[in-house]
């Protein structure tokens, strides 16, 4: 009896305490909606100007500055930066819808890591196109079927993504932004662990989880699929099958998450390029992506690299692929720190070009420092 009286008193005190606090929240929400819409009215003006004068709707340099500014304003405050950043990203997604609805292409089917990266970068107010393979993403941007296309470039554990580097050699589009996505692999299945008879996934996650799989499922065959979502789709249909994929794929294909974060390296991260038919202005903390083929003489590659060393330009990524034009001819892909409009960068690129058969600038873009 006393217990139930105490409980009633607590519940009344809770209600009485909550009521004025919730009233304050309601008032603040009213102000926030008002402020958000006043911001939106300005964005509509930005959109009109861009449509009239031909400016790009997505401005990665401005996006970077806005995010940096709000992170600085938030310093020492209550909400974590990640929360502030997520709110602003979603707000800027709304800005796209007000300026001109954007179509974003990614490597499908829905639920892939590329889908996750695209959603975190562009938010809920754009349209998404899932494309069957990476060459199709480049083609769709080139043709103008989509506004922006995300392509995975390299993974911190497994290295470069072959079709993306090959796509860069053949595209007319530019790299306008980069995205870092922490990759957390999950084992998805609708049966218990001892009943798993086959594990499907894309070759990259299979490799990223090699040690974990060997320790936990040494006898279970691993079968490669074209994407993690295809793997999830198959696991959902086939009794005794599991897939390595995203939590988003688990939701979409109705699979249970049996094990989380099974990647061998806790810092497993994939870097994506955002491809577009536009150039990005400087922010002061940028990268430039290029590819080149060197002349056939000894020391040609060293000559190119020396130019960057002499200008004090830091290279953040270097990979090579066969040129596919002639046997044993290679194309080198380099990301360097700096924007093409920085005088020392443009000087170094002109000098480097003298040692090359071909040197193409793929684009300058803000350096991604924060994983999405
Ligand atoms: O300033 C711009 O160019 C905008 O399009 C506005 C805005 C924003 O909402 O702040 C929207 C999207 C990003 O591209 C950058 C900024």
Is residue 149 one of the residues assigned to a domain?
yes
Distance 109 CA to ligand 1 centre (A): 29
pLDDT number for residue 296: 80
Tokens of 172: 């007319």
pLDDT at 1 over 70: no
CA 269/CA 186 separation, integer angstroms: 15
Assess if residue 161 is contained within a domain.
yes
**313 assigned to some structural domain:** yes
Residue 329, both tokens:
């001819």
* 10 inside domain: no
Is the pLDDT reported for residue 2 higher than 80? no
Region of residue 76 (left: phi > 0; alpha: psi -120 to 50; beta: else): left
Is residue 235's pLDDT more than 70? yes
Mean pLDDT of 5-27: 95
The mean pLDDT value for 80-97 works out to 97
Average pLDDT over residues 308-336: 93
Residues 110 and 67 in one domain: no
| Cα–ligand 1 centroid distance for 137 (angstroms) | 24
Average pLDDT for the chain: 95
Percent of the chain with pLDDT over 70: 99
- Within this chain, do residues 206 and 223 fall inside the same structural domain, yes or no? yes
| Mean pLDDT, residues 212-229 taken together | 96
Q: Which of 130, 160, 182 is the last residue of a domain?
A: 182
> pLDDT tens digits, residue range 37-83?
999 999 999 999 999 999 999 999 999 999 999 999 999 999 999 99
Whether residue 250 contacts residue 236, with contact meaning beta carbons closer than 8 Å, is answered with no
This model of the complex carries an ipTM of 0.97
Say which CATH number the domain at 216 has: 3.40.190.10
In this prediction, residue 351 carries a pLDDT of 97
pLDDT digit string, tens, across residues 271-297? 999 999 999 999 999 999 999 999 888
CA distance 93 to 96: 5
177 and 159 part of one domain: yes
**pTM for the predicted model, two decimal places:** 0.92
- Which structural domain, as residue segments, surrounds residue 229? 186-259
**How many domains does the chain divide into?**
4
Residues 75 and 124 in one domain: no
The per-residue pLDDT for 242 is 98
For 128, 193, 220, 225, 317, the CA distances from 233, given in Å and listed in that order, are 19, 18, 19, 10, 34
Atom 7 in ligand 1: which residue has the minimum CA distance? 92
Q: How far apart are CA 41 and CA 221, in angstroms?
A: 56
Atom of ligand 1 nearest to the CA of 39: 9
| Residues flanking ligand 1, CB < 6 Å | 43, 46, 58-59, 62-63, 66, 92, 95, 99
Residues 104 and 107: their CA atoms lie apart, in Å, by: 10
How sure is the predictor about 179, in pLDDT bands with cuts at 50, 70 and 90?
very high
Q: Tell me, yes or no, whether 265 lies in a domain.
A: no
Ligand 1 midpoint to CA 91 (Å): 9
Pair (174, 109) in one structural domain: yes
* Residue 96 and residue 106 share a domain: no
């Amino acid at each position: 009896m006393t217990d139930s009286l105490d409980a009633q008193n607590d519940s009344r005190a809770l209600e009485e305490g909550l009521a004025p606090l919730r009233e304050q929240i309601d008032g603040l929400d009213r102000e926030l909606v008002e402020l958000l819409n006043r911001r939106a009215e300005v964005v509509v003006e930005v959109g009109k100007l861009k449509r009239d004068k031909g400016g790009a709707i997505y401005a990665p340099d401005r996006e970077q500055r806005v995010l940096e500014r709000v992170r600085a304003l938030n310093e020492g405050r209550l909400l974590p930066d990640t929360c502030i950043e997520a709110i602003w990203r979603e707000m800027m997604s709304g800005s796209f819808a007000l300026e001109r609805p954007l179509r974003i292409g990614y490597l499908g089917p829905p639920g892939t890591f590329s889908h996750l990266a695209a959603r975190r970068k562009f938010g809920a107010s754009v349209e998404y196109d899932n494309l069957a393979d990476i060459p199709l993403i480049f083609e769709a941007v080139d043709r103008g079927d989509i506004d922006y296309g995300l392509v995975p470039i390299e993974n911190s554990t497994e290295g470069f993504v072959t079709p993306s580097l090959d796509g860069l050699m053949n595209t007319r589009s530019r790299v306008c932004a980069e995205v870092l996505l922490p990759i957390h692999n999950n084992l998805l299945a609708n049966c218990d662990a001892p009943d798993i008879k086959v594990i499907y996934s894309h070759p990259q996650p299979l490799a990223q989880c090699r040690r974990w799989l060997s320790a936990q499922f040494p006898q279970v065959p691993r079968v490669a699929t074209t994407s993690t979502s295809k793997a999830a789709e198959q696991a959902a249909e086939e009794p005794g099958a599991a897939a390595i994929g995203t939590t988003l794929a688990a939701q979409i294909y109705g699979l249970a998450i049996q094990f989380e974060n099974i990647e061998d390296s806790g810092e497993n991260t994939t870097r994506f390029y955002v491809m577009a038919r536009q150039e990005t202005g400087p922010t002061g903390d940028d990268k430039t992506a290029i590819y080149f083929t060197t002349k056939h003489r000894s020391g040609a590659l060293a000559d190119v690299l020396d130019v960057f060393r002499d200008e004090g330009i830091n290279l953040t990524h270097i990979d090579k692929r066969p040129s596919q034009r002639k046997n044993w001819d290679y194309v080198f892909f380099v990301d360097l720190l700096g924007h093409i409009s920085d005088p020392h960068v443009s000087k170094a690129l002109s000098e480097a070009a003298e040692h090359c058969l071909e040197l193409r600038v793929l684009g300058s873009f803000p350096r991604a420092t924060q994983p999405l």
